[in-house]
Amino acid sequence: MEGEPPTERTYNHIAFKIQENEFDDYLKRINDMELEIKPERPRIAGEGRSIYFYDFGNHLFELHTGTLDERLTRYLQD
């Protein structure tokens, strides 16, 4: 990230899509780097899984096993 890092942590984040079969590997790698992971929020079935974590500069990232379109489609089904 360019510029000064945020002085406080917020929910503003950058999200990246990952494959479901990569989820555990990414989680292990993030844990191995001792980055702070936010608790997983409740999800509805079929919405996918996410890992939210902060880097060393207070930036929040999300790794998600689906796409925004898939999430929105799933929400419309209920």
C-alpha 59/C-alpha 8 separation (Å) is: 9
List, for residues 29-46, the tens digit of each pLDDT value.
Answer: 999 999 999 988 777 777
Within a 13 Å sphere around the CA of 67, how many CA atoms are in the beta-carbon half?
Answer: 3
Could you say which of 2, 4, 34, 62 is catalytic?
62
Sign of the CA dihedral with 61 first, then 44, 72, and 22 last: positive
62 labelled catalytic: yes
Q: Report DSSP state, residue 42.
A: P
- Band (78; pLDDT cuts 50, 70, 90): low
In the chain the domains, ranked by start, together with CATH numbers, are 13-76 (3.10.180.10)
List, for residues 10-35, the tens digit of each pLDDT value.
Answer: 889 999 999 999 999 999 999 999 99
Q: Report DSSP state, residue 26.
A: H
CA 71, distance to chain mean position in Å, is: 14
pTM over 0.85: no
